Amino acid sequence: MAIDLLIKNGVVITMDPDRRVLENCDVAIHDGKILEIAPHLEMEAEKTLDAGGCVVCPGLINGHSHVYQSMIEGLGYDMHFNPWNWRFLIPVVSKITPDNAQAGASLAALEMIRNGVTTISDHWYLHTDMENIYRVTEIFDQSGMRAQMVFGFLDETFAGVQRDADDMTMIQSQDLLINEARRFHDTWHGKKRTTVALGPGSTEDISESLMLKLVALSKELDINVSTHVAGWIEINSYTIRHFGERDLEHFNSLGLTGPRGVMFHAVWLSDREIEIMAKTGTKVVHCPVANAYLGYGISPISHMLSRGITIGLGTDGAASYTYDMLEVARTAGMLQKASKLDAEAVTAEQLFEMLTIGGAKVLGIDKEVGSLEKGKRADVIVVDFKQPHLLPVGRWLPKLVYSARGSDVIHTIVDGKVLMESRKVISMDEEKVMAQVMESREDLITRAGKETRDLLNMPWPKDGPAWRWLVDR
């Protein structure tokens, strides 16, 4: 009997417990799983991909994103988060419809598949319509990706903007949100390649009583509870003022730390807070590009790694301007090395662990994916090294981390299914997705109003950032 798929003659970076790198090696895939990893496999296969001169490795994991922001990239740039959020983001995002949500998710899925990202964790809190998150999840499912959908909660503010302000359609009552989270969990958790987690926004966005209910719900459902922690310096002052504790300390007091606790950003942590995370087995998703772009700072991941904390990498939202996770990993490395004046502050191997097995551990799916091992689900990418910027190789892993780009990924495979072959996405109609996105974005900007449109028509700035023209005119 023929097996489903055979990848021949690649350099296989397994990320297995022994971290084996096997040259001239084949990977046999059947029924969605890895059947065998060995040289010269003599097997008949329905489909064979030649990986000569290529690296074959686990699919990349994007541990934190807000894919709706694919629709707003370029709307306001070179801005701090707060003016961007309250003045320019809210008029747009408060009007997102299920059609807009679907378009943004399609575009993000397309871009991720083209960059070798096989698992996405999306934090979706924009419940302007309760159908939004269902449409997004269906798109990831149809695209063939693996997804952890983080059902978001906003019951008090959206990044500090009160619920009684105009247009705050994304802020809902506790009871409604909890009932909807249960319904979403029952519909999607464990269905095919999708899992569900709970995602309170931040200490600012969520009431303490809702936080406590979410800790209890995550225990009841045995799922992750994932939140933004100490991403920007001001949030620590807010949390200290209101609760007498720093951000992570407060999450610890509420019970959000532990093996099921996932902290996004984790930039402004004290040594004591890093110790709390290490002791409780709390996990981190580091978003270096978004943190740097917004002027948030640099997360102390070298320190966290030295304390054994499990870290994954994420893009976060539009502030990354990319879904290329190789770029995100490279930036993570450069920021640690430059800021600590230490070339050894983080290694290529550690960065690739965060992209693969580390990210899988953060999402609680490491028994299934994150490494290439017999019996695991077959989430595999093939990276073409037969290119000037990738030759000569020297050692494969550092070349992959420091020189390769998402666009060097030629085949993307999830659950044994080929989603992209020779740079052509098979699971989605690329032309159709891009046409729909342009139409949907035009609709969204029109409904958001004149000031949003003006953001796209700003003149070349005489000095300083372009957006200030809107304020100064």
Binding-site ranges for Zn ion (CB under 5 A): 316
Quickly count helices (H) and strands (E) in the chain: 18, 19
Closer by beta carbon to Zn ion, 188 or else 264: 264
Q: How far is the CB of 16 from Zn ion (least distance, A)?
A: 31
Q: How far is the CB of 137 from Zn ion (least distance, A)?
A: 18
Closer by beta carbon to Zn ion, 14 or else 132: 132
Residue 95: CB partners within 8 Å, gap ≥ 6?
128, 167, 169, 444, 447, 448
Return the residue nearest Zn ion (CB atom). Answer: 316
Q: How far is the CB of 21 from Zn ion (least distance, A)?
A: 33
* Amino acid in the structure at residue 81: F
Closer by beta carbon to Zn ion, 273 or else 316: 316
Q: For residue 432, with 0-12 CB atoms within 10 Å meaning exposed, 13-18 middle and 19 or more buried, which class applies?
A: exposed
Q: How far is the CB of 123 from Zn ion (least distance, A)?
A: 6
User: Which DSSP symbol is given to 164?
Assistant: T
Closer by beta carbon to Zn ion, 324 or else 368: 324
Is residue 110 within 8 Å of residue 433, measured between CB atoms? Answer: yes
Residue 86: CB partners within 8 Å, gap ≥ 6?
159, 160, 161
Q: How far is the CB of 384 from Zn ion (least distance, A)?
A: 32
Which residues are bridge partners to 285 per DSSP?
264, 312
Closer by beta carbon to Zn ion, 144 or else 199: 199
Rounded to an integer, what distance in angstroms lies between the CA atom of residue 272 and that of residue 393?
A: 42
Rounded to an integer, what distance in angstroms lies between the CA atom of residue 382 and that of residue 269?
A: 37
Closer by beta carbon to Zn ion, 72 or else 413: 72
Q: How far is the CB of 3 from Zn ion (least distance, A)?
A: 40
Q: How far is the CB of 171 from Zn ion (least distance, A)?
A: 17
* Amino acid in the structure at residue 390: L
Rounded to an integer, what distance in angstroms lies between the CA atom of residue 126 and that of residue 100?
A: 11
Q: For residue 46, with 0-12 CB atoms within 10 Å meaning exposed, 13-18 middle and 19 or more buried, which class applies?
A: exposed
Rounded to an integer, what distance in angstroms lies between the CA atom of residue 355 and that of residue 119?
A: 10
Closer by beta carbon to Zn ion, 188 or else 232: 232
